[in-house]
Amino acid sequence: MKILLVQTAFIGDVILATSMVEMIRSLPNKNIQIDFLVRNGNESLLANNPHISNVLVWNKKKKFRSLFSNLLKIRKNKYDAVVNIQRFMNSGILTGLSKAKYRIGFSSNPASALFTHKIEHKIPHLLGNGEYLHEVQRNAQLLEPLFNIDIHKASRPALYFNPNIDKKIQEIIKDEDYVVLAPTSVWFTKQWSAHKWSELSKELSKSLKLFFIGAPADSKAIDSIIGDTQNCVNLAGKLSLLESARLMKDARRVFVNDSAPLHLASSVDAKTTAIFCSTVPEFGYTPLSSDSKVITTQERLECQPCGLHGKKQCPLGHFKCSNLISIEQVASTVK
């Protein structure tokens, strides 16, 4: 059986989608080929994965040309099933016109009329027992038309490394006891306030080495957070996504916002403290590590959440969802 998984969204979405790869490869039937389609820039996340045969790339800058060339490849590969995790039109067209026997996606996709199987997608997704579906469980629903699976036992996402990555990270950490901090986010209201991260850094650096990670554009903001605090290393822009995940793997603890680094941590089962400000755990993007803590305001604010995604600024101007989270709440999660 040949399956193509389609996830052309962002970094965190692709990481979470690897849970589906782990679920498929754990099935009794081992004669299953798994290919993956991602947007350009995210293909590096799937490098070294022994369970993925081929990675197709949609180049968003060459939108329609890349869309057409990928459609030709998909038809040529004659997939038995194309499973679309994304809910946008372009990925829906690729799925619907793929000529696969099983064309599966969420009913909210604008091109879902072309699918053979449509699955409801809800955020938050409340179950009758009072629990909420995690995103990996929502995605796992897409495999139900193909396999007999239990979505409540959805696998943890997984990234894989090569010896060069292992060696580079070992040279950085030098057997020190350390924590990893990812203090930035694309969305302002998703990130704990910079002055809070600064205070946390001062507290943790008394006994631990601190490694900060982020994109190249985050380096200046992280320098400001560190200030004159000792025992801190700014690695923003100096590590690939896989290298960042590998750094997290052996950390005493990882501190993240509700953003992509949270899912990097889940992919390596890193000990994780996730800080939720404007978004809430019920959305289904909480950490999946066996040792994980979710920190949010002790009492839910009337304005919380202010949206499904973060915002560029607090709509009410007080940013209480961040300011009411104390340093002690966060620092106490380090054993």
Q: What is the DSSP letter of 157?
A: P
Q: Is residue 232 one of the residues assigned to a domain?
A: yes
Handedness of CA 184, 187, 192, 198 (dihedral sign): positive
* CATH number for 231: 3.40.50.2000
Handedness of CA 104, 108, 113, 118 (dihedral sign): positive
Question: How does residue 101 score in pLDDT terms, banded at 50, 70 and 90?
Answer: very high
Q: Tell me if 257 sits within 8 A of 192, measured CB to CB.
A: yes
Q: What domain range is 192 assigned to?
A: 163-331
Q: Is residue 158 one of the residues assigned to a domain?
A: no
What pLDDT sits at residue 61? 85
Please tell me whether residues 6 and 115 are part of one structural domain: yes
For residue 222, the tally of other CB atoms under 10 A from its CB is 23
What pLDDT sits at residue 182? 98
What pLDDT sits at residue 335? 76
Q: Tell me if 62 sits within 8 A of 50, measured CB to CB.
A: no
Average pLDDT, the chain: 96
For residue 167, the tally of other CB atoms under 10 A from its CB is 10
The whole model's pTM is what?
Answer: 0.95
Read off the amino acid at residue 37: L
Residue that is written with structure tokens 């293909």 in the block: 43
Domain boundary among 86, 119, 153: 153
Q: Is residue 34 one of the residues assigned to a domain?
A: yes
Domain boundary among 153, 183, 205: 153
What pLDDT sits at residue 128? 82
Tally of domains in the chain: 2
When mean pLDDT is compared across 55-64, 154-163, 181-190, 239-248, the lowest value belongs to 55-64
Per-residue pLDDT tens digits for 208-247? 999 999 999 999 999 999 999 999 999 999 999 999 999 9
